[in-house]
Chains A and B, each alone.
Chain A
Amino acid sequence: MHLKLLAKRLSIALLFLAGSFIANAQQKTVTGKVTNDKDGSPVSGASVVAKGSKSGTQTGADGSFSLSVASAVTQLEFSSVGYTSQTVSIGSGNVVNVGLVATSGGLTEVVVIGYGTARKKDLTGAVASVQAKDFNQGVITSPDQLLQNKIPGLEVTSNSGQPGAATTVKIRGNNSIRSGGSPLYVIDGVPLDGRSARPNFGTNFGSSPDANALLFINPNDIQAVDVLKDASSAAIYGSRGANGVIAITTKTGSAGPSKIEFGTSWSVNAGYLKKYEVLDAGEFRTALTKYSISGQDKGATVDVFKDLLNKKLSQSYNLALSGGNDNGKFRASFLASSTNGTFKNSQLDKYIGTFNGQYKFLDKKLTIGFSLIAGHTSEDVIAVSNTAGSEGNIISSALQWNPTTSFKDANGKWVYPTNGSGNPMALLDAYDDKVQINSVLANISASYKILKNLDYKFQYAINNSVGSRLTNIYGFLQGYAGLSGSGYGAISGQKLNSQTFTHTLNYNATLTKKLSLTALGGFEYWKSKFSNNSFSARGFNTNLTQETKIDIPYTAILQDGQVQSLPTTYIDPTVEIQSFFGRVGLNYGDRFLVTATMRADGSSKFGKNNKYGYFPSAAARWVISNENFMKSNRILSNLALRASWGITGSQEYPSGAATEQFTFSQYNSATQTNVNNPDLKWEETRSTNIGLDATSKNGRIYGSFDYYHKNTTNLIFQDVPIAPAPSGTYFRNINANLINSGVELGIGATIIEKSNLQWDVNFNLAFNKNKLTNFKASRILTGQINGQGVSGTLGQIIDNNYPVNEYFLKPFGGFDASGNQIIGASQQYAGDPNPSTNYGFSTTVRYKKLSVVINAGGAAGFKIYNNTATSVTNISGISNGRNIDKNAYNSAEKPSSGVGASDRFLEKGNFFKLRNVSVNYTVGNVLRYVKGLNVFVNASNLFVITKFSGFDPEVNVDKSSGGYPSRSIEYIPYPTARTFSFGFKFTL
């Protein structure tokens, strides 16, 4: 459907809905105030509904409400997230003041568990939940950033400081030796494909970092995120559950009068989180003297990174409109934001509209729900890449730039040094790369109450993303083979479409007085299509000199290119997954809870001999605190022991991998490109989890502890086809075991709780150990080390009895008498790139209307390979007038020293990062209409404590080789900015 038409229809619907809120006659007005039972502080946003009627409202910032109800109404229902709901009779004078009791450790919170929800206190598996109020704050471009350091066992690593770049998300360690170890994302019950429609086109500067697949989700629309960590929770997602599941629940409207929420913020980059230490102009001059290099002092003093910093104002405007009554509710939101990257010319603009609603019909037996998310993102990308070769990229240009050289000469023309460094400012000027993605995620569902305790639900969802990319490198840029004097333009496009049909039946029954049963049965069909096309040209007539630059990009006149490249298109084999699943839960007197699930997954990706996989799980919870012997204890209000076991799967290999395929390669020729493997199946993870949840008697201290052990077998292995065979790969399952085991601890405490002052602290800690065993195939080298002089070097290894991606490097033996580095002859096992420890910390201090929130975290027990130092800022550059590493300068090394990868560049990655600090001031109600005005300032990426010498110890530049991922390699990445924001929000 055309968006315009859709928008028109939606606006008609909105009008219609608004009309339904006009109140009826025969009314009385009830007023009152809702407070926290403990300290008397106001509870804002609490829902107030007249029992047995359609009318309702929400409390304002001061906790007060005013509700017009039919005169027959005698009771009001009060509810709010984090509090136990209460029903209160309307007394004389129509005034109702209520003190709500806070629930302990969020135990009554409802958690998404896959095709359903459960109360947190009924959970048998390991599910962690983060509510909107606890999210990270500051400049957030994608939902996964909300969760960094929030959940024990969830690692979210920013791969790049570029706004909108992909993150590496791992739940409980490295689950696969293959790429694609990301969790399954499920948005409002719709599983996503996980890929993005952003075309990635390689140029002279390499291929750029991937985009985040969740960019089209407005972080402000998220109500809660639930992370399903163990097999018991994730097994209901079967062959896609092995890497864990992240379930995102978006906000919906609530019963009560319509309201408008508005929020805005402005941000500005204030320097870098951390600088990569190269020489400044003064030190550079000293170095020239030290190494007796003449002719390289060009007289000026330049601070490249300062000049590259983007100081434009980033802006974000978010508007949400919601409302509803007993019979239905809706919410619509709109986000317009423009986020500036750390470097000039780097920008991400997002426009996201959402509309969702739930309406009841047929005496409330039928509920129709719908949700539409339409997002448009537009990126200005600069020449940053994962795989830059000898010509580097803009970061290497900046690092290597001779700090005594001005970027422009006296005539205003770019200066092009002949030492291969390139001019970063000219590169900004000559590089024009725009990516646009339109994404729609729409779903419609119908639930019908067949019986009082039997519900049927059908849901259809479609996720369609179309991306286009226009890459231009203008010919006036000097110093690059095939570009300079020629120019380069490329147009590429990508399409991603997935559809889901889900049918579920939910059944609840009280079997005996103490024993109750819940049952779920369902069928799901999921289909995904992915395609890509690109064409490029070189040899243009325009923009060949800086003076004659015009504003028409090459991609607008591609036919002018003298040399046209072959257009390429590919359409991935279609993925179809068909599943049957079920879950049965038994609850015996709230003391013993048992859950069992089963899923049968068939996938078109599997080989003919293994079309269906079966994924069972079982889990139990023993609520010790509900036993008689515990009832009298004065310490704990809740103590529960959990245990679970289950099997989950992963099918993260290319679609079509099991099938013989012939591909048109060059013009008029075809070759077989894949080996037929009818036995190919899923990767299987068996995991056990033992957990303990505890809450103190007063509810002020709560925590949980989990131990898990995961054993992944039938590893998907990208084998070497046995020659003679098609080139490329051959996928098969091998019998090795990939073991991940660890412990997780999460503790929350309210240290001070007074009416004017409250101090909450949250801490989480996770240890994971990763090891590959029984691996009998030949070891796999991965982890490309890039740059001039180190081509073809691979620095990581996948080998038996080692963690996945163990470093494999030649040993560094110091410097010889002439200052040349000594590198040993053969590569050795050199350390683990996977953090053994991840931790997070957050605290909130509220004094009256002022509150301060701090989020921090870090990782330890791993090493980072500094590929930048190996090949970009090594000492040999200074003899050609390139800037060099401060570490190299301070060592005994001389510029004659050769280049080479070795463990010299392996550094400890341990870090602690202060992610964000926010100061909020609740102004409250202003004038007649503005409610709950809240003003905040926020600082993101304030500082990092680390010994790592690169830009950011939280780094994972994709240096995969042959489909085997790499881990923790830094290579001229996009640096992270320190950002300050100011903003406010209010409700109307």
Chain B
Amino acid sequence: MKKYLKVAISFVLISATGCSKLDQQLPGSLTNQQVSNALGSAGVGLLLNGAYADLGGTFTAQDLLFCLEENASDEALVPTRGGDWDDNGVWRVLHNHTWDANHTYVLNVFNSLNKLNFDATNVLGFSPSASQAAQARFLRALSLYYLLDLYGQYPVRQPGEDLRNAPEVKSGAAAAQFIIDELVASIPNLPTTGGAGVATKNAGNTLLMKCYLNRGAWVNRASPTFADADMQQVITIGNSIIASGNYSYMSEYFRNFDALNSSSTENIFTVVNNSGSAANVSDVRSEWCRTLHYNQETSTKPNSGWNGFSTVSDFYNSFTTGSTPGVDLMEGVTNYASNKTGRYKDTAVDARVGGRFYPGITDKSGQRPGFMIGQQYSETGAPLTDRKTPANPLQFEPGIAADMKETGNTLELTGIRVEKYGPDFTNGSANYQGNAGNDEVIFRYADVVLMVAEAKLRAATPDAAGALALVNGLRTARNAKPLASLVLVNTANLYAGNALLTERGRELYWEKVRRTDLIRFGMFNKIWQYKPSDDPKYLVYPIPTQSLSVNPNLVQNPGY
């Protein structure tokens, strides 16, 4: 018996050896309680900053919001260049309107915007201050604005919801009203100052204007109608921003986008980047790398561009009068060191076309911000070449293959390039490939002015004279001739010189508003270069297959 007792005791001893509760230890991340308790009020601030940080990639990367707003419009496309930029056809189907619900970037944008939606909502569950709550609600409204605009519906959660459950989905008029209500409720608590990097009252008001302006299009994309009350709201809010005196046109258009653009007096809401800072949340070099040729920084640093994104010649020609840079503009190229004022000689050319000597960029790289067409030069004025053997002169050609698949000897050269953001040369070329300091622009004063002009034209009692005055005020600031008359749109001509839509294109090109504009002006399904046909279903993007499969409350958009 003693023997069995020993056996039994041994087994009992073993099972009594110090048991662990097996609670998950997180040595490198925080629990919910630690965020609210250990970090205190700072914790909410960190979460709010996390939501702000979501703006970085979403608004900057070439394959997120940009490609859905711009590549799907007449302003941008990516020709497949032989072995490059095929990427399973993702770029071509955006431009010629043949995408489907499995499109990678349609999914990525949905997820990216919803991450902002989530992170902003999460702030509200951690006892934020009134200002923090208002900023979080603004950031969520911003994501919902784009979700509604792109997908026609959006999911929304209450703070603290069980994330394994499918969230509520809002669509149509109710979805628009929710965003407007959120903004109206939170704007009073938004900060008044703090710079363009903070969601100020003016940023909130700009977004609110966009909601009122686009509400008619959201409800009926095929033939939008605009309520007078909404247009009056746009005018009232816009006028208050104009009257605030906080904003004025820059004498140098491209200063709004270059590495020194934190001093811009036009930018209302931006993602702040600092030159040389590794903590920047947006990799803003994509703004120039996406379009520049491989050989376009200096000859010793090949592959400095990705040689992809281009614009189409019809859009480029919408700058009409003397839109091709004249001889005066080329002067500085060969001898600009002694002729830096050459860029302003040709007063007939719209400053927004660019192509002029630009201090701090042209003398560092030979690049001239704006539209790039024809021969490109190095910083010493030497003509650049492409990568072929024997090399072709690096002359960007307006023509692109009809099917957007370049195969010939000049496949690296086709397409007019657009350098809206001048590269950051504030520290030699150190920030060219990363850590650049250009702030990414989300809202800009010129857009506010043009929205007011548009609302004046769309009001029950249109104010054409008032609208024209606003547009000509802007054009004068841009070194462009005033227009004699102004119409909303010419349905027979996408690029009619006196149409407000055209002016919006000339001012806001590559700023991620073109698709929304084309829909609001009823022109999105028109035929344009390299898009031979279209279907009304493309007025709204499909709900990505993957998202649809996990949330039964989402409804696939018609036709997909």
Q: How far is the CA of A479 from the CA of B387 in the complex (A)?
A: 11
A719 on the B face (CB < 8 A): yes
B243 on the A face (CB < 8 A): no
Which segment, of A256-264, A587-595, A893-901, A977-985, faces chain B? A893-901
Which residues of chain B in 1-56 are interfacial with respect to chain A, using CB atoms and an 8 Å cutoff?
3, 6-7, 10-11, 14-15, 17-20, 22-32, 34-35, 43, 45-47, 49-54
**Contact assessment for A660 and B14 in the assembled complex, using a CB-CB cutoff below 8 Å:** no
Q: How far is the CA of A662 from the CA of B43 in the complex (A)?
A: 10
Q: Which residues of A contact B28 (CB under 8 A)?
A: 531, 569-573, 663
**Closest chain A residue, CB of each to CB of B90:** A792
Q: Which residues of A contact B304 (CB under 8 A)?
A: 481
**Contact assessment for A792 and B50 in the assembled complex, using a CB-CB cutoff below 8 Å:** no
B188 on the A face (CB < 8 A): no
Q: How far is the CA of A725 from the CA of B167 in the complex (A)?
A: 10
**Contact assessment for A670 and B389 in the assembled complex, using a CB-CB cutoff below 8 Å:** no
A698 on the B face (CB < 8 A): no
**Contact assessment for B156 and A777 in the assembled complex, using a CB-CB cutoff below 8 Å:** no
Q: How far is the CA of A188 from the CA of B402 in the complex (A)?
A: 68
Q: Which residues of A contact B80 (CB under 8 A)?
A: 789, 898
Assuming the A-B contacts A484-B301, A792-B104, are A454 and B166 also in contact, with contact meaning beta carbons closer than 8 angstroms in the complex? no
Which segment, of B348-356, B413-421, B428-436, faces chain A? B428-436
**Closest chain B residue, CB of each to CB of A793:** B88
**Contact assessment for B49 and A573 in the assembled complex, using a CB-CB cutoff below 8 Å:** no
**Contact assessment for A659 and B24 in the assembled complex, using a CB-CB cutoff below 8 Å:** yes
**Closest chain A residue, CB of each to CB of B289:** A481
Q: Which residues of B contact A505 (CB under 8 A)?
A: 7, 10-11, 14
B338 on the A face (CB < 8 A): no
Q: Closest CB of chain A to B232's CB: distance in Å?
A: 33
Q: How far is the CA of A656 from the CA of B24 in the complex (A)?
A: 7
**Contact assessment for A677 and B164 in the assembled complex, using a CB-CB cutoff below 8 Å:** yes
Q: How far is the CA of A661 from the CA of B50 in the complex (A)?
A: 14
Which residues of chain B in 324-365 are interfacial with respect to chain A, using CB atoms and an 8 Å cutoff?
none
**Closest chain B residue, CB of each to CB of A481:** B303
Q: Which residues of B contact A531 (CB under 8 A)?
A: 27-28
Q: Which residues of A contact B391 (CB under 8 A)?
A: 418
Q: Which residues of B contact A877 (CB under 8 A)?
A: 83
Q: How far is the CA of A879 from the CA of B29 in the complex (A)?
A: 52
Q: Closest CB of chain B to A55's CB: distance in Å?
A: 34
Q: How far is the CA of A521 from the CA of B8 in the complex (A)?
A: 11
**Contact assessment for A724 and B155 in the assembled complex, using a CB-CB cutoff below 8 Å:** yes
Assuming the A-B contacts A485-B301, A565-B278, are A670 and B43 also in contact, with contact meaning beta carbons closer than 8 angstroms in the complex? yes
Assuming the A-B contacts A578-B19, A788-B83, A789-B87, are A665 and B53 also in contact, with contact meaning beta carbons closer than 8 angstroms in the complex? yes
Which segment, of B249-257, B369-377, B481-489, B543-551, faces chain A? B543-551
Q: How far is the CA of A350 from the CA of B278 in the complex (A)?
A: 37
**Contact assessment for B434 and A529 in the assembled complex, using a CB-CB cutoff below 8 Å:** no
**Contact assessment for B114 and A724 in the assembled complex, using a CB-CB cutoff below 8 Å:** yes
Which residues of chain A in 869-886 are interfacial with respect to chain B, using CB atoms and an 8 Å cutoff?
871, 874, 876-877, 879-881
Q: Closest CB of chain B to A663's CB: distance in Å?
A: 5
As a 0/1 sequence over residues 531 to 560 of chain B, the CB contacts with chain A under 8 angstroms (1 = contact) are 000000000000001110111000000000
Q: Closest CB of chain B to A499's CB: distance in Å?
A: 12
What bracket does the count of chain A residues touching chain B fall in? 35 or more
Partner of A670, one of B30, B114, B427: B30
**Contact assessment for B300 and A665 in the assembled complex, using a CB-CB cutoff below 8 Å:** no
Partner of B300, one of A478, A539, A726: A478
Which residues of chain B in 280-321 are interfacial with respect to chain A, using CB atoms and an 8 Å cutoff?
281, 294-295, 300-304
**Contact assessment for B167 and A454 in the assembled complex, using a CB-CB cutoff below 8 Å:** no
Partner of A521, one of B14, B110, B295: B14
Partner of B387, one of A418, A456, A571, A606: A418
**Contact assessment for B430 and A563 in the assembled complex, using a CB-CB cutoff below 8 Å:** yes
A7 on the B face (CB < 8 A): no
Q: Closest CB of chain A to B548's CB: distance in Å?
A: 8
**Contact assessment for B25 and A573 in the assembled complex, using a CB-CB cutoff below 8 Å:** yes
Which residues of chain A in 662-691 are interfacial with respect to chain B, using CB atoms and an 8 Å cutoff?
662-677
B490 on the A face (CB < 8 A): no
**Contact assessment for B276 and A662 in the assembled complex, using a CB-CB cutoff below 8 Å:** no
Assuming the A-B contacts A418-B302, A566-B279, A880-B388, are A722 and B165 also in contact, with contact meaning beta carbons closer than 8 angstroms in the complex? yes
Q: Closest CB of chain B to A903's CB: distance in Å?
A: 14
Q: Closest CB of chain B to A494's CB: distance in Å?
A: 13
Which residues of chain A in 718-733 are interfacial with respect to chain B, using CB atoms and an 8 Å cutoff?
719-727, 730, 732
Which residues of chain A in 292-318 are interfacial with respect to chain B, using CB atoms and an 8 Å cutoff?
294-296
Q: Which residues of A contact B405 (CB under 8 A)?
A: 898
Assuming the A-B contacts A604-B23, A673-B29, are A451 and B114 also in contact, with contact meaning beta carbons closer than 8 angstroms in the complex? no
**Contact assessment for B430 and A562 in the assembled complex, using a CB-CB cutoff below 8 Å:** yes
**Contact assessment for A725 and B47 in the assembled complex, using a CB-CB cutoff below 8 Å:** no
Q: Which residues of A contact B545 (CB under 8 A)?
A: 778
A523 on the B face (CB < 8 A): yes
**Closest chain A residue, CB of each to CB of B280:** A666
Which residues of chain A in 601-620 are interfacial with respect to chain B, using CB atoms and an 8 Å cutoff?
602-606, 611
B528 on the A face (CB < 8 A): no
Q: Closest CB of chain B to A660's CB: distance in Å?
A: 6
**Closest chain A residue, CB of each to CB of B46:** A670
B85 on the A face (CB < 8 A): yes
Q: How far is the CA of A43 from the CA of B159 in the complex (A)?
A: 76
Q: Closest CB of chain B to A545's CB: distance in Å?
A: 10
Which segment, of B115-123, B128-136, B449-457, faces chain A? B115-123
Q: Which residues of A contact B114 (CB under 8 A)?
A: 723-725
Partner of B15, one of A450, A523, A724: A523
Residues of A at the B interface (CB closer than 8 Å) are: 294-296, 390-391, 418-420, 450-451, 454, 456, 478-482, 484-486, 501, 503-505, 507, 521-523, 525, 529, 531, 538-539, 562-566, 569-574, 576, 578, 580, 602-606, 611, 655-656, 658-677, 719-727, 730, 732, 777-778, 788-793, 820, 871, 874, 876-877, 879-881, 896, 898-901
Taking A677-B164, A898-B405 as known contacts, 16 extra A-B pairs with beta carbons closer than 8 A to each other, sorted by chain A number, are A295-B390, A484-B300, A485-B301, A538-B433, A566-B278, A574-B24, A574-B25, A611-B22, A656-B24, A666-B50, A722-B163, A722-B551, A724-B115, A725-B118, A789-B80, A789-B87
Q: Which 5 A-B pairs have the closest CB atoms?
A: A571-B28, A669-B49, A723-B114, A671-B50, A724-B118
Cβ contacts A to B, 10 pairs, < 8 Å: A525-B18, A656-B26, A660-B31, A660-B32, A661-B31, A669-B53, A670-B35, A673-B29, A778-B545, A876-B83
